Amino acid sequence: MTTQEQYQEMTQFLEENKELYEKYNEYLIACKQHEMMLEITKSDRIKKLIEVLDNKYNLINNDRYRDYVIARQYVFFLLRKIMKLTYKSIGEIFGKDHATVIYGIKKTQEKLEVRDSLLLEVKPQIDHLFEIYLK
């Protein structure tokens, strides 16, 4: 089959299946738009969640009050575990470097293993807010 014949065959196929082809293109465009909306929404939801948590636990501030530190570190842990954010991106949200985030996640894992009472106190509230904002 020559190139000209292949071209004619493809043109005929597209003409015969024009409606299907157009619907397929519409579907691809809709999928891409939906994917883009999910990304925007995910980012916005994370920002809103951090804003709400910051009001309650003073996350963004450099406050070293133990309750706030434990809450902040637990949020690091959840953002890494649930949202799969990088250490760097988590650090950027909180104005910390990646090493601080890694340390906070490690401390949270240790506290979860020994069932630290302060962590167990804030954990249900933070978990609940994560469920609401990041479903």
Q: Any idea which of 51-55, 59-63, 67-71 has the lowest mean pLDDT? A: 59-63
Model pTM score? 0.69
Report how far residue 122's alpha carbon sits from residue 45's, in angstroms, rounded to the nearest whole number: 20
Domain that holds residue 82: 3-133
What's the CATH code of the domain at 10?
1.10.1750.10
Whose tokens are 């104005």? That residue is: 95
pLDDT, tens digit (0-9, with 9 covering 90-100), for 62-95: 888 898 999 999 999 999 999 899 999 999 999 9
Total structural domains within the chain: 1
Residue of 60, 64, 70, 63 lying closest to 94 (CA atoms): 60
pLDDT, tens digit (0-9, with 9 covering 90-100), for 20-50: 777 777 777 777 766 666 666 777 888 888 9
The letter for the amino acid at 113 is E
The letter for the amino acid at 87 is Y
